[in-house]
């Protein structure tokens, strides 16, 4: 439904467009990238931007010349890959597959050094976090940008209870999860009436409020200095000290998370979430209590962040507000989005990729967030359903695609109203 614009004739001259685009980006990057003191005013860097943009554009164009449907081909390859993964995970051989995956998870680390085990432990932690956020964002369709706050709640629960009262890790683990869930519900009550984008910014605000409070409430949290000397987990006189112990602990937590999230997804509640995400009005008409369903999503999502938080505090034995910034929330959101919102294997893949890739590209550490940002935009533009699309979501998106290309468009689109599923009833 793109209206013909003035650039129409340009569109027929792709090479000119590429040149113009590369010049434009060179020009845009010029002011901030040049250095007046350097030889030639440091014009090399913006020139480089120009050249890179030009080359990428050229490659893109050549590829599309070579096969106009290349984009679709790529999409299909990824799609079939994704659906294979899904079929494997759901087909008859799934028990075997699960056993195999579990055996790998248990046995492989035995041959690895501390560093790799540490990275794998991180993967596990983020898988737990991302699966929890997936409940809120992927299944229920509520964009939560302050998710890290619940992680902080879990971590500080253990940090404080361990150093002040001397409660053990195992006692705090359920407590932390419960407290995070309570926080989720408490924060949810006032804000869940809001529509998607408002909810996003308010949750962001809540996340920041919790961080600022942790940072300033010196008498309780020792402010920016953080809490040190948190007890390591112990079990029957055996203290967790080696990274591999933590690794097995997180594997257990991840297994529990996967099991529960998968069950939830297939349960009545899971279907209610999906229904609500797709169309709140229709869902309510079908007898779904929106408030209750949303609060459940918030509470159950926060639970996993709380668990991961307790684990984090137990593993690091030191926590400070620095670990709970907005960017952590964004990274976890990226994992969910990259992997495929609502899809459990997708989210696991997303979390693994976003932990392991930056570790592999240590020399580009500076560029990490830059690439993240760019990738988020590209992902949304080129493949909004993520690497492994969730089956239900894939159907919904495909239908939307068809609707868009159909001659007769649904009324909501023709009239430029918000799309299906985002239509909003009046404020209750």
Binding site for other proteins (CB under 8 A): 1, 3, 5-6, 24, 27-29, 31-34, 36, 45, 137, 141, 143, 145, 190-191, 193-198, 200-202, 204-206, 208-209, 212-213, 216, 326-327, 330, 333, 337, 341, 366-367, 369-370, 372-377, 379-381, 384, 400, 404, 413-416, 418-419, 421-422, 424, 426-427
Taking the complex as a whole, how short is the minimal distance between the CB of residue 376 and other proteins, in angstroms?
3
CA pair distance 100, 338, nearest whole angstrom: 25
d(Cα 90, Cα 98) in Å, to the nearest integer?
Answer: 10
Q: Which is nearer to other proteins, 28 or 97 (CB)?
A: 28
Please classify residue 4 by burial: count the beta carbons closer than 10 Å to its beta carbon, then call 0-12 exposed, 13-18 middle and 19+ buried. exposed
Between 234 and 423, name the residue whose CB sits nearer to other proteins: 423
Minimum CB–partner distance for residue 75 and other proteins (Å): 15
Give the C-alpha distances (Å, rounded to integers) separating 37 from 29, 34, 42: 17, 9, 8
Closest approach of Cβ 168 to other proteins, in Å?
Answer: 34
Q: Least Å distance between CB 342 and other proteins?
A: 11
- The neighbour count for residue 282, using CB atoms within 10 Å, is 14
Q: How far is the CB of 330 from other proteins (least distance, A)?
A: 6
CB of 239 to other proteins, least distance (A): 38
Closer of 360 and 377 to other proteins (Cβ): 377
Compute the distance between CA of residue 223 and CA of residue 209 in angstroms, rounded to an integer: 14
Nearer Cβ to other proteins (284/422): 422
Closest to other proteins by CB, 179 vs 200, is: 200
Minimum CB–partner distance for residue 383 and other proteins (Å): 11
Tell me the closest approach of the beta carbon of residue 329 to other proteins, in angstroms: 10
Which residue from 377, 312, 388, 380 is spatially nearest to 348, judged by alpha carbons?
Answer: 388
Provide, rounded to whole angstroms, the least separation between the CB of residue 67 and other proteins.
21
Instruction: List the structure tokens of 247.
Output: 């690794």
Give φ, ψ of 129 to 5 degrees: -60, -45
Nearer to other proteins, 5 or 113 (CB): 5
Separation between Cα atoms, residue 383 and residue 403, nearest integer Å: 17
Which of 259, 367 has the CB closer to other proteins?
A: 367
CB closer to other proteins, 229 vs 416: 416
Q: Give the nearer residue to other proteins in terms of CB position, either 209 or 286.
A: 209
Q: Are 122 and 191 in contact (CB under 8 A)?
A: no
Residue 204 CB, nearest approach to other proteins (Å): 7
Assess contact for 149 and 343: CB atoms under 8 A.
Answer: no
**Beta carbon nearer to other proteins, 53 or 258:** 53
Residues paired with 238 in a beta bridge: 235
From CA 348, how far away is CA 336, in angstroms rounded? 8
């Amino acid at each position: 439904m793109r209206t013909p614009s003035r650039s129409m004739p340009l569109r027929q001259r792709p090479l000119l467009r590429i040149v113009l685009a590369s010049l434009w980006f060179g020009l845009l990057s010029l002011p901030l990238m040049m250095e007046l003191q350097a030889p030639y005013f440091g014009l090399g860097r913006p020139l480089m931007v120009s050249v890179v943009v030009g080359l990428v554009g050229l490659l893109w164009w050549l590829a599309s010349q070579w096969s106009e449907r290349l984009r679709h081909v790529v999409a299909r390859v990824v799609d079939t890959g994704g659906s294979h993964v899904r079929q494997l995970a759901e087909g008859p051989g799934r028990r075997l597959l699960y056993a195999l995956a579990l055996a790998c998870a248990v046995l492989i680390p035995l041959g690895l050094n501390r560093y790799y085990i540490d990275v794998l432990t991180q993967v596990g932690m983020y898988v737990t976090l991302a699966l929890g956020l997936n409940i809120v964002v992927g299944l229920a369709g509520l964009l939560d940008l302050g998710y890290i706050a619940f992680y902080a709640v879990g971590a500080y629960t253990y940090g404080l209870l361990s150093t002040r009262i001397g409660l053990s890790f195992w006692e705090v683990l359920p407590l932390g999860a419960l407290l995070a869930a309570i926080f989720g519900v408490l924060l949810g009550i006032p804000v869940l009436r809001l529509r998607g984008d408002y909810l996003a910014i308010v949750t962001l605000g809540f996340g920041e409020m919790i961080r600022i409070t942790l940072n300033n409430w010196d008498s309780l949290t020792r402010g920016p200095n953080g809490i040190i000397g948190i007890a390591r987990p112990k079990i029957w006189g055996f203290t967790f000290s080696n990274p591999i112990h933590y690794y097995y602990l997180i594997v257990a937590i991840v297994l529990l998370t996967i099991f529960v999230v998968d069950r939830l997804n297939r349960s009545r509640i899971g279907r209610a979430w999906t229904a609500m995400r797709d169309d709140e009005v229709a869902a309510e008409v079908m007898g779904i209590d929106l408030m209750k369903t949303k609060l459940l999503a918030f509470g159950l999502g926060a639970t996993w962040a709380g668990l991961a938080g307790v684990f984090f505090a137990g593993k690091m034995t030191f926590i400070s507000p620095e670990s709970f910034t907005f960017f952590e929330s964004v990274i976890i959101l990226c994992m969910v989005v990259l992997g495929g919102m609502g899809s459990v294997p997708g989210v696991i893949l997303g979390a693994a990729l976003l932990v392991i890739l930056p570790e592999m590209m240590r020399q580009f550490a500076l560029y990490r967030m830059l690439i993240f940002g760019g990738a988020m935009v590209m992902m949304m533009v080129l493949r909004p359903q993520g690497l492994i699309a969730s089956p239900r979501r894939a159907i919904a998106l495909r239908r939307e695609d068809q609707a868009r290309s159909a001659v007769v468009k649904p009324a909501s689109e023709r009239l430029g109203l918000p799309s299906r599923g985002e239509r909003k009833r009046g404020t209750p």
